[in-house]
Structure 1
Amino acid sequence: MSASCPRRPDDVTTPAPSATPPATGRLRFEAVSKRFGDHLAVDGVSLDLEPGIVFCLLGPSGCGKSTLLRMTAGFEDPSAGRILLDGQDLAGAAPHRRPVNMMFQSYALFPHRTVARNVAYGLERERLAKPEIAARVAEMLRLVQLEPLGTRRPDQLSGGQRQRVALARALAKRPRVLLLDEPLGALDRSLREETQGELRALQRRLGTTFVVVTHDPAEAMVLADRIGVMAAGRLVQVGPAAELYERPATRYVAGLLGDVNLIEGRLGEGGAGRLRGLDTPLGALTAFDHHGAGAAGAPGLLALRPERLRLGGEEGLPGTLLDATYLGDKILYRVGMADGRVLRAAGPPGAGPGVGAPVRLAFAPEAASLLAAEPA
């Protein structure tokens, strides 16, 4: 847990009455790396986060996302690079002296303390006056809708309620940035989905910068204004959820963000509006090259989401319908192609061709993306 460093009187500047106070919580990483012996856990991460957003670090276990969070909190020191908050280098600042706070997956609540005293813990450590502590605790319990439960202990609460107590405690000290390490990982699926909406609504009301670590792509897409996908200690791609989903930069990002068809081939020459051809075993295909897939003749991949692949019509790639799975809001088709590959297409519920029927698959060029063939 951490707190803002106390300012000296000469550090304080008073804005003009008509001035709008500058937004706080801008977090900047400049070529940040972290080594543990021979292992490079974080590799040259550079990132600039505007204040007041929810930013999700997304990736599998061991990719470096939690290490990056711990360096921001002050629990680890960077081996190289700088971390700045509102332009101030955090190097050398102890965790409790940083204007950030961290909420852990385990919640780390004190079992012998009531809900109210758990929320008050960091404020008591700062030796705030008792009336101010009481007012701040009441404010936080109202914020997370736990006012009637202030006298209960953690073991008398549900998992979702314990999560909200931990969140209230983390926010009680009014950090400029709140760091959340897998904050919903201990909840079951239905409660996790419900809490995602509550967490997002709470952040909007507060305007505090949230940095969330998660391995769940769906959670990142629900929560985040921007997502940073990490792999092997590096940031692979950063952007809004729609951009990463529709225009992935690599095979890794394409697969991480959802189901995708990948068709390999050789890149052709570039055309107007970044349209390029790809010579594939299925024939010449056209897609958008958003990120610069490579030179003409180099290996490339066409990435196409199942919902962008249309089943039916007289034009398109010929295949055979292998099966159709009803999923409520859509039907997922598996289509066998002439070269032995299987492509997946999605369409609205309704009557369709039977299994074994010849079908054609078509797509608009702007619905597909070209990627470099490298495995990352």
Structure 2
Amino acid sequence: VLLHAVEAGISTVRVYPSGRSVAIFGDSGARRSLLLSFPIRFREALVGSFADLAGLSTGRECVVESTFQLETETGIRAFRISVLRGLSGVETVVTVIPDLRSVIALDSIGFHPEQTEITRRLLSMQDGLILVSSPAAEGVATTIYAMLRESYRAGSRVVTVEETHRFRNDGYIQLERHEVEKRFGGKWTRLAETLEPDALMIESVSDKKELLDLVHIARRGIPVFCGAQGVNLSRTLETLFSLEVDPFLLVRVVRLVMHQRLVDLLCPECRRAVPAVPSLQLVGENYREKLETMVQEVTFYVRAGCPRCRGTGYSGKMALFDLLPFTPGVQHQIFSDEPLEEKLARIVGENLRSAFPSVEDLLRRGMVTFDDVFPFFR
């Protein structure tokens, strides 16, 4: 069943009671289909068979989750299984973990050309720390994996730590955070000393102490890619420079700090053009003239809803980025005598590679609503 799901493009397989039967349904995102159906007496055997693939117990009080792999004719495929107790007994959900080999590249994640060039140049150094902040964890792993694929080829010893596996990448040592807690006591330094990675990826750091540990790992020559939750780039920089570490060491180790925000992309089949134009009242002074020009040249759209987008009006999401590369000029500015808040404001104002070119491009192509990208105009 699972191998058929992979070949058929099914992303999720569910096993649960349906009337007097136990049904196995497949969900591909666009549609849901019945794969198999058995008399209800076979439910425990079916759930147990799926759990056995992952080496899980299905006892009465058991609610568990794990990842496992199966070998196919085209290679190894990874799955995530959740065994849970529903109202009518034990149920199973198996998710196919996407393979990254053909879906994620640096050119496809939302950088505009200047940002792509800057990031490639910094990645080619293969050292230091790259920090990706975001209001939520969604999308951070995708961004970091794209950078890893750009700079580390087959044979490199890349160690990744995610909260939960969402992607599979051949050749990487992929761990979940709970495994790091169990095997290394949650210590990034112990993990690095034991596994000796050529590069280390941490999807999310939980506090300043973890971030400080990663700075010291990067200082030892191991490239570190990590994510952190933050409301904007300035707040992320404040957190970074409040660490108890010599600022000289920090600026020598950090290569790039970026902040990403996800925007919804309109469904091209049902988006609807509107005659109204955005109000300029709340637009920031830096963007007012650009928006006035766009109002004269651009058709604005809103979402509608159709069968293709399942009534949502959207076709997916895209990340937009503000980048601050730690160039020699930025490093020099860090050592000025200004108060930290004023210093960081000047550094951001003079060196930021903002997401605005990407925002303007999306609006001109009718791919987003103005309301969804309005925060970039403030």
The TM-score normalised by the length of structure 2 is 0.31
The TM-score normalised by the length of structure 1 is 0.31
Indicate the structure (1 or 2) with the bigger Cα radius of gyration. 1
* Structure having the larger proportion of residues in strand: 1
**Bigger relative contact order, structure 1 or 2 (CA pairs below 8 A, ≥6 apart):** 1
* Structure having the larger proportion of residues in helix: 2
